[in-house]
Amino acid sequence: MTVPLLDLKRQYTNIEADLWDRLTAVVEGKAFILDRPVAELEEAVAGMLGVTHAIGVASRTDALLLPLKLLDLAPDHEVVTTPFTFFATAGAIHNAGGRPKFVDIEPDTFNIDAAAVEAAIGSDTRALVPVHLFGQMAEMAPLRATADRHDLMLLEDAAQAIGARQRIGGEWKRTGAVGDAAAFSFFPSKNLGGFGDGGMVVTGDSGLAERLRRYRVHGGAKMYHHEEVGTNSRLDALQAAVLLGKLPHLDGWSEARRRNAAWYDARLESLEDRGQVVRPVVRGHNESIYNQYTLRVEDRDGLKDHLSSRGIGSAVYYPVPLHLQECFAYLGHREGEFPESERAAREVISLPVFPELTEAELNTVAEAIEEYYAA
């Protein structure tokens, strides 16, 4: 039995008719640009997350880039983030005109070490961009306190964590509800994915929301009148229609991912006792949506080849931490500077965890891992 890392066809097959009704309505209504489906999705996502404003944009890359652009960063202005993330996080900081300032990760959650952020802040720091990696939120309470103390924008990269929750002061908060703004991705492989690119910024700040709505249509609230130079970054109405069809299923899908994760957790416990794998750690005050189920393992590349020879999909997110990327050589970092990110890059492997996996498939994956370490 082969097991894919992700099989979107199964999800699609379950909701096909509804999605086509929605797509047909957009095509027949010829409302392709920022029309009803986009406004409806913005309202629905804002409602689900418990925030007041949501602005659909072309991708998560833009969802992070646009709020950063509005900070008018100078080349020596720093934005604090993690080196263990998808490239786009630091790419957006660079493209907004600023300088990524990396802080190493916590070894157990793979998220930025919030307690170490304070020490990284200088007079040129303008913003904090924590990433909620693999579906679990970074520690938002200390990050919020640090941002407030130094008057910095707190911008969540929530591309992998739509709907994840964290209990802060006795209250569950969803992604986007603690930061000044948060950036979401509707890239097909995310928990809520479209049929192409898409993204969204959410914020509780009306002034920021208004500027973003303007910025995504070339900086003019009124057609052909431009208060500032913006860009074209709109969420497609066709994508919004697909996402509206999928949104009601999101919580159920995330629950199924948690069930799959719990299944692996139980099955892989003995391998962890023998020191060959480390299962993902989700803190008691977090609820992960498991965009990825990521192990640390001994001899990662060997395990990956073994799984692949058995027809089992897996992936390494991410093999090269961002401080060691060629394009960031100008930052002057060396190997050894962010040891936890570097170690994670050597040890991590993500397994199939998508909602529609069968128990037989989970079993096939677990057996192949057991077989590898028994040899």
Q: Minimum distance from CB of 190 to ligand PLP (Å)? A: 6
DSSP string for residues in 118-159: GGG--TTEEEEE-B-GGG----HHHHHHHHHHHT-EEEEE-T
Per-residue tokens: 228: 């500032």
Find the length of the chain: 375
User: Minimum CB separation from ligand PLP for residue 345, in Å?
Assistant: 15
- Residue nearer to ligand PLP on the CB measure, 85 or 136: 85
Shortest distance in whole angstroms from residue 365 CB to ligand PLP: 22
What are 120's two structure tokens?
Answer: 């990284």
Question: Could you tell me if 333 and 323 are in contact, meaning their C-beta atoms sit under 8 angstroms apart?
Answer: yes
Query: At closest approach, how far in Å is the CB of 198 from ligand PLP?
Result: 7
CB nearer to ligand PLP: pick between 61 and 166: 61
CA distances from 93 to 55, 234, 333 (A): 19, 20, 17
| Residue 120: strand, helix, or coil | helix
Nearer to ligand PLP, 161 or 362 (CB): 161
For ligand PLP, give the closer residue by CB, 101 or 306: 101
Task: Give the DSSP H or E segment for 147.
Answer: helix 140-150
Nearer to ligand PLP, 201 or 277 (CB): 201
Closer CB to ligand PLP, 111 or 203, in the complex: 111
CB of 76 to ligand PLP, least distance (A): 24
DSSP characters over 164-209:
-EEEETTEEEETTSSSSEEEEE--TTSSS--SS--EEEEES-HHHH
What dihedral do alpha carbons 82, 87, 89, 90 form, nearest 10°? 70
CB of 49 to ligand PLP, least distance (A): 17
Task: Name the residue nearer to ligand PLP (CB basis): 110 or 372.
Answer: 110
Kindly tell me which of 157 and 287 has the beta carbon lying closer to ligand PLP: 157
- Pick between residue 240 and residue 362 the one whose CB is nearest to ligand PLP: 240
Encoded tokens for 59: 């991708």
Triad 317, 165, 196: Cα angle to 5°? 50
Neighbours of 86 (CB within 10 A): 19
Say if residues 115 and 107 touch (Cβ distance below 8 Å). Answer: no
Residues 6+ apart with CB under 8 A from 303: 297, 314, 349, 369, 372
- In terms of phi and psi (left: phi > 0; alpha: psi -120 to 50; beta: otherwise), the region of 168 is beta
Binding positions for ligand PLP, rule: CB under 6 A: 59-61, 85-86, 88-89, 131, 157, 159-160, 185, 187, 197, 199
**Distance of closest approach, residue 60 Cβ to ligand PLP, in angstroms:** 3
CB of 189 to ligand PLP, least distance (A): 7
- Cβ–Cβ under 8 Å, residues 10 and 358: no
How many other C-beta atoms lie within 10 A of the C-beta of residue 140?
Answer: 22
Closest approach, Cβ 57 to ligand PLP, in A, equals: 9
The single residue listed with the structure tokens 């999928």 is 246
